[in-house]
Amino acid sequence: MALPNRSIEGALWMIGAGAVFSLQGVAVKELGTRLDVFQIAFLRCFFGLLVTLPFVLRGGTALFLTGRPALLVIRALAGVSGMFCGMYAIAHLPLADAVAISFAKPLFAVCLAAFFLGEKVGLPRWLATFVGFLGVALIVRPGSHEFEIAHVAALLGAFFIADVVVLVKKLQGSEKNATIMAYFGFVTSLASIGPAAVVWLAPTSFEWALLVGIAVAATLGQWMALRAYRAADASAVVPFDYLRLVFSILFGWAIFAEVPDRWTLAGAGVLIAATAYIAFREIRMGRKPSLGSG
């Protein structure tokens, strides 16, 4: 049976978002061969701040007048920490491994939402979360000779981004999106400029192009994912988000000669099955799943 036109449109937007996010990972990995991730992350934050400046100028100082400045700062710090960890993992792991582990974000989000937002989590979702972490264990294989500090960084990156998801849920009831964006842009740029200065190397023209490309890809990917959710029901577009892993495997093989082993593929399969189940439970409960990484 043919999919409705709106579902096809939503699927195409999500596939496009997955391709863009995967290309962003390629750029980070290429830059990571010479530049430190602190420098890459700072420039990603700074370019992101430039994108938000028109909104800041339009809203003026009123954007920063909020009753929850501490929570906004914590959200921004969690975001930049997740960015550091995620970029370190991409730079030091096979692209497919880093992307597969990033899918653990919903698993951490379930735990954090239960403990900090008081959301009721039934036994099926707890079981799916446990199974998902078993999939992560297959990829990471703690105690094996393949285990690296970059695996820990990838898991921490997923944890910090899950923190961001939970904090944004808490903030959305009282704060404007422009306020959240403004705090994020300024706090992350300030927090990352010091570490970046310590490891700074002058980027080449090609590296500057990649750095700008990362910022553009992050913005474009988020916009395409939003278009996907607006075009069709979440249940129609969520499965296509997992094509990010397929794109990452293909790009990793074609550009970096990386071939994922059977443990990564098996773990990714288990992890994706568990997180897909959690996503569809969220949809049935009337909550939109979080957007893809960027």
CB-based contacts of 18: which residues, under 8 Å, 6+ apart? Answer: 240, 241, 243, 244, 247, 292
Distance CA 122, CA 116 (A): 16
pLDDT of residue 179 exceeding 90, the answer is no
**What one-character DSSP code corresponds to residue 148?**
-
Least confident of 6-20, 56-70, 90-104, 137-151: 56-70
Q: Name the pLDDT band for 289 (thresholds 50, 70, 90).
A: low
H or E element that contains 74: helix 69-92
Contact criterion met (CB below 8 Å) for 241 and 292: yes
Q: What is the pTM of this model?
A: 0.87
Percent of the chain with pLDDT over 90: 50
pLDDT of residue 46 exceeding 50, the answer is yes
- The mean pLDDT value for 164-179 works out to 78
Number of other residues whose CB lies within 10 A of the CB of residue 110: 23
pLDDT of residue 147 exceeding 80, the answer is no
CA distances from 212 to 7, 28, 239 (A): 32, 11, 29
Over residues 216-247, the pLDDT tens digits come to 898 888 888 888 888 877 777 878 888 999 99
pLDDT of residue 282 exceeding 80, the answer is no
Distance CA 66, CA 179 (A): 8
pLDDT of residue 4 exceeding 60, the answer is no
